[in-house]
């Protein structure tokens, strides 16, 4: 399957939820089964769950509850596309603003912020010390605007991180869990809440499994089986009658097997003016270079890595529409002016003293990374 043929994209999901919860007052390009007048939507984002993983899990019999719901007509599954680069900060910002990276401005894990703070790690543990803000309204602002009650459920350890503060600047209803086992009762409680509204739940654990063990590993199988059990429990224990309640399961990106790591630090040995860690992602190094430095880097990268890397102007990325149909002027410099990208299956290693231990990664354009599931389940 080609991800660019998907009928629907991640930035369309939240506007579709708001359309269903506001009697159709919000527009979205994504068609869903949830009609205007829906009482409640639980939006469960499972980090790292590619569409190919769901297909294989269903084929392997690892998701019997989901398979039963699909067979009965209570659920529907289809592929949609995520955004590029296919990494968590960019994708979650696109989901929770309903906009493309070129509009909201979070275009990589590491981004340029200001002359005073030129490098921000959006997955850092500290609570956004740079004060980085998205350029589009976040979901907590939009739900206030449309008078839709909104709640967030996430792991306790993520609550005070930089990305949480960027994505949820106004949210005062963040429910957290410590043990992964605690998410299930939180979701069941949310499904049976008599108040209408939108609940966003974030699950990071499958992504960690995929990075370390890889999709389709034994650990992956155990994780998928557990997620399916939660889906079955939600369907069985949603007991209130009345207006429709939906569970939507979606992801930020999938994973692709890592074939090799390229030592970025070898470039820095011969070009010490390069940053220790560039802007961008583990697949796309964003750099600020003049013409002479770009030519030198191009020759050096070809000498060291051959056709495993491509150096191109950042403007080419914006011109292709991969960051969305519109790119704000203030966004164009957040990755520098040159991008040194690896090909599929190849990832940068930044630190000479620390070899990455990753079986799979993401951030590229492969179908495994860019195609994600959109699973709709009517709970009542």
* pLDDT, tens digit (0-9, with 9 covering 90-100), for 133-186: 999 999 999 999 999 999 999 999 999 889 999 999 987 779 999 998 999 999
What is the reported pLDDT for 34?
Answer: 93
Task: Compute the distance between CA of residue 170 and CA of residue 19 in angstroms, rounded to an integer.
Answer: 21
Segment 357-379 shows an average pLDDT of 95
Residues 6+ apart with CB under 8 A from 290: none
What is the reported pLDDT for 243?
Answer: 77
Q: Say which CATH architecture domain 259-357 belongs to.
A: 2-Layer Sandwich (3.30)
DSSP state of 96: H
* Mean pLDDT (the chain, rounded): 93
**Closest-CA residue to 125 (of 99, 159, 85, 84):** 159
What is the reported pLDDT for 124?
Answer: 85
Q: Please check the confidence at residue 5 and state whether its pLDDT lies above 70.
A: no
For residue 228, which phi and psi values (nearest 5 degrees)?
-65, -35
Beta strands 284-287; 309-313: pairing state: unpaired
> Which is it for the CA torsion 8, 10, 15, 18, positive or negative?
positive
pTM: 0.96
* pLDDT, tens digit (0-9, with 9 covering 90-100), for 100-142: 999 999 999 999 888 877 888 999 877 666 678 999 999 999 9
Tokens of 256: 């692709």
* pLDDT, tens digit (0-9, with 9 covering 90-100), for 10-63: 999 999 999 999 999 999 999 999 988 899 999 999 999 999 999 999 999 999
pLDDT cut 70: percent of the chain above it:
97
Burial class from Cβ neighbours inside 10 Å (0-12, 13-18, 19+) for residue 257 reads middle
CATH for 3-99+136-256+366-378, among 3.30.1490.150, 3.30.565.10, 3.40.720.10, 3.30.1490.20? 3.40.720.10
Q: Please check the confidence at residue 280 and state whether its pLDDT lies above 90.
A: yes
Could you tell me if 274 and 237 are in contact, meaning their C-beta atoms sit under 8 angstroms apart?
no
What are the residue ranges spanned by the domains of the chain? 3-99+136-256+366-378, 259-357
Beta strands 110-111; 120-121: pairing state: antiparallel
Q: Please check the confidence at residue 357 and state whether its pLDDT lies above 90.
A: no
What are the CB-based long-range contacts (under 8 Å, 24+) for 153-161? Answer: 153/177, 153/183, 153/186, 153/187, 153/190, 153/199, 153/200, 153/201, 153/202, 154/201, 154/202, 155/180, 155/202, 155/204, 158/202, 158/204, 160/127, 161/123, 161/124, 161/125, 161/126, 161/127
* pLDDT, tens digit (0-9, with 9 covering 90-100), for 302-347: 999 999 999 999 999 999 999 999 999 999 999 999 999 999 999 9
* pLDDT, tens digit (0-9, with 9 covering 90-100), for 235-252: 998 876 677 899 999 999
């Amino acid at each position: 399957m080609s991800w660019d043929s998907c009928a629907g994209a991640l930035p369309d999901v939240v506007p579709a939820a708001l359309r269903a919860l506001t009697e159709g007052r919000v527009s979205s390009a994504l068609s869903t089964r949830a009609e205007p007048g829906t009482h409640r939507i639980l939006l469960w984002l499972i980090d790292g769950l590619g569409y190919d993983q769901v297909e294989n899990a269903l084929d392997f019999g690892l998701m019997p509850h989901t398979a039963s719901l699909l067979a009965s007509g209570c659920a529907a599954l289809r592929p949609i596309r995520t955004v590029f680069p296919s990494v968590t900060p960019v994708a979650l910002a696109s989901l929770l603003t309903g906009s493309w990276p070129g509009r909201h401005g979070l275009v990589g894990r590491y981004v340029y912020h200001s002359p005073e703070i030129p490098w921000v790690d959006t997955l850092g543990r500290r609570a956004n010390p740079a004060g980085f803000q998205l350029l589009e309204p976040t979901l907590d602002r939009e739900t206030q605007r449309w008078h839709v009650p909104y709640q967030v459920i996430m792991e306790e350890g993520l609550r005070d991180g930089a990305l949480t503060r960027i994505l949820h600047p106004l949210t005062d209803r963040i429910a957290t869990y410590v043990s992964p086992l605690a998410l299930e009762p939180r979701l069941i409680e949310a499904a049976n809440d008599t108040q209408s509204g939108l609940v966003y739940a974030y699950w990071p654990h499958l992504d960690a499994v995929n990075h370390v063990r890889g999709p389709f590993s034994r650990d992956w199988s155990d994780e998928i089986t557990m997620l399916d059990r939660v889906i079955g429990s939600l369907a069985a224990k949603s007991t209130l009658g009345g207006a429709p309640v939906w569970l939507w399961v979606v992801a930020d990106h999938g994973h692709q097997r890592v074939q090799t790591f390229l030592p970025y630090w070898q470039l820095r040995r011969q070009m010490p003016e390069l940053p220790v860690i560039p802007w961008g992602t583990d697949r796309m190094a964003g750099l600020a270079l003049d013409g002479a430095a770009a030519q030198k880097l191009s020759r050096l990268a070809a000498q060291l890595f051959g056709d495993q890397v491509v150096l191109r102007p950042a403007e080419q990325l914006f011109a292709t529409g991969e960051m969305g149909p519109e790119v704000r002027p203030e966004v164009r410099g957040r990755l520098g002016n040159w991008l040194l990208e690896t090909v599929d299956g190849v990832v940068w290693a930044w630190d000479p003293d620390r070899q990455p231990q990753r079986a799979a990664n993401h951030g590229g354009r492969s179908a495994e990374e860019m195609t994600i599931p959109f699973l709709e389940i009517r709970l009542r």
